[in-house]
Structure 1
Amino acid sequence: MDSQEEENIVIKKDRREKKEKKDKKRSKSQPAPEVADTDAVDESSETPAKKRKREALADEIEIDVSLPEPSSKKAARKAKKAKLNPTPAADKDGATDTKTDAASKEESGKRSDFGVWIGNLPWSATKDSLRTFLVENAEMKSEHITRVHLPPPTKPVNPNWSTKPLNKGFAYVDFSTELAMYSAIALTETKMDGRALLIKNAKSFEGRPDKPKVEQEQDTGRGGKVAAKGAHPPNKRVFVGNLSFDVTKEDLEQHYSECGPLEHIHMATFEDSGKCKGYAWVTFGDVEAATSAVKGFVFKDESDFKSKKKDKVESDEEADDKKKSGKKRKWLLNKLFGRELRCEFAEDSTTRYNKRYGKDKPAEAVEGVNPDRWKNFGNSGGNDAGNGGEERRGRKKVDPRTIRSGAAHTNAPRASHAIVESQGTKTTFD
């Protein structure tokens, strides 16, 4: 036999021995299977790993069609609220209280044409107490009140308060007749728990601030910010705010040249960098141009707009036809460098000057003088009698009673003590 064959035989023997050792170790580590008889061996012992049993399928779900349909989320919320705020139960005899009937009518009733608004209510007021107050103090019955709407408070309670508020301080009450409504309005200024109630017609809006007109918002274009109506009358001067720091006078001039001719642009700038502070005043040539700038748009012919197709060249005849058609489009001016401008009419320069230095400047008070005569004593009265001449330049008249003692003598002009200048004459003696 060759040496190579002998080596192969030895290797095979080693492998067999190793395999036998591994089988012995496995048999020792596994627990002995339970057998019914000594001779019989369970089939499960032959396989080292047990097979998992297949789980049994669940029974089919049976649905009873005769059962009622489950409630929706909205109905469930209503039922939950009803549990939190239960209504008083009925009597044993089956007769319900009159208050419960009234409450059910309020929930199911709608707003009537005869309603009042009640304000300045005490925090302790409830629907029942308000109903009782109206019935006892006015000539009406409980049946005349069809609805009481008392909104509950929504904001968190102040921890410093001793009592928890039960309402928002106002309520709406509807009546079935007009007579009951006016009898409730007659109770205004009547005190309820120490507070004088304010009762007025629910359809009356007197005393409330006027809402801004929708037309003014529509005229501003796409989101243009315009000042409230009546701030300053329309004039040539316009205030422009919310400007970028990189804006220059040339940019403003080019932007607002679409409105009309410009007279002057005054831009507020920083002293160190010279950049814009974010606002400027633009003076236009006429009021119409300034109005267009405040609105944020102007109307231009379609021929003024650049066409999207640059390759297409229109003839002169087609351009004339477009001009004759008279169709105009909006040219928006409410944005500059991506920022929405805040435009409003500024104060006219003449009006501004008169308020500061002219006749419209309010006169300051002078002690011991009738207010009708304050204007006769200058801008600052006699308070600057002891100061220098710079503060007395605009003064027309001074009341001598306002000058303190010694002030006139100390401020009197003095003769100069300097060397007298020569006049060119010479005196000689013989």
Structure 2
Amino acid sequence: MSKTKVGGDQKRKAERKAAKAAANAANGAADVDAKMTDAGSELKKEKKEKKEKKDTAEKKEKKEKKEKKERDEDSEEKKERKAKRKEKKRQEEESNETESTSPNPTADDDDTEESPPKKRKRDAAEGDLEIDVSLPQPPSKKALRKLKKHPELAPKILKPTPSNAPKAEIDKSTFPEHSSQVRSKHGVWIGNLAFSTTADTLRDFIALKPEDVTRVNLPTDERGRNKGFAYIDFDSEDALDHALKLSEALLGGRKVLIKNSKDFSKRPASAPAPPKNGANIDKNPPSRILYVGNLDFSTTAEALQEHFEFAGKIQRVRLATFEDSGKCKGFGFVDFLDIESVRRAMLGLTAEEEGTMNELEGKAEVELASRRKRRAMLIGRTITMEYGQDPSVRYKKRFGGKDREGGDEEGGSAVPRKKEWKDTRSTDAGAAYSSDVRRTGAITAGEGKKMTFAE
């Protein structure tokens, strides 16, 4: 039995090996077939791509040949047209020459005269242009646009000007050459007028001869109405006095105010002018210290000292810098030897230029102005300048004017007096324990605080 079993196992093993070998052979054949099919498809794809490239190349070549042929035909046509134009021009020139040289024109010449050349200068003898200067000047485009919006301004815009009339008819009294000929030394300003007031109304109100009033200037708005005031000029002092007496009189139901045109007593004070070149001289009291602001972050103390050397001798330069990077904070202080140097630094002048500034004229004055403008700038920025506060003044502001030790009155360093230390502790040994709640066990009132714990 054992021999039979052993023989059966060997047989089964041999069968399995044979089946496995057959399966491997079948798989190998399938792989070979797949590889063969892939290789065939790749060959077909390559052949197809080659054919497409060849077709595109042939189409491109045909297109280029066609375009070249068309270009050649166009160039030939252009050459022919150009040659025809030259020939035609030459014939026209020859015909013109024959016309000018022939003493007795013939019938053919008459035919040529009927079709003259296109470009021909106008013969001056045919007729001179005549311009009538007495006619009114045509309005400009700007005036026409204004008339379109406000037709009621037509009489004012379209009135004749001195350039419209002949020189012989110009009346200088009516059309002065300059505004200074209209304005006189005897003039008044009249205010609180009604919007309906006109120049004729003002002339009747003044009640003078027409020749006594040289000008009535009545400013109007875009609607053509009076703005509420006017200027009137007279030819004599007597006429001016007569007009001033009419102040507070009624005109159109309103009390008018009349003042001399040179009277500026009640004019409101104008706003202070901004500092020139970034310097504000009147802000702080004079000092030997110059405050400089609006500096670039890359500014150094050496650059600041070199920039202000023109004004005078510099004792030291203090530049505010950041602790981490060491760059400029945007401001600094320059300590000069005297106050005059600080003033010159703000004005942008040297000691020599300050003495000769009022005597300069023309080109020298323009050059000095440009130098002063450059001195007010540093690294492309307009710097702000003013008198810096003296250290003693800053100390008094900070510590309330207490006594100080050290430093001079002219701005030296001020050091506060040292305070004596005093022991403020209690000498009672049990005072600390009596005030301690935990040690005494006393009951304390609640303070309303609540403690919560996060889960």
Report which structure shows greater RCO (CA 8 Å, sep ≥6).
1
Q: Quick check: TM above 0.5?
A: no
TM-score range, shorter chain: 0.3 to 0.5
Q: If each structure's helix is expressed as a fraction of its own residues, which one has the higher value?
A: 2
TM-score (norm 2): 0.41
TM-score (norm 1): 0.43
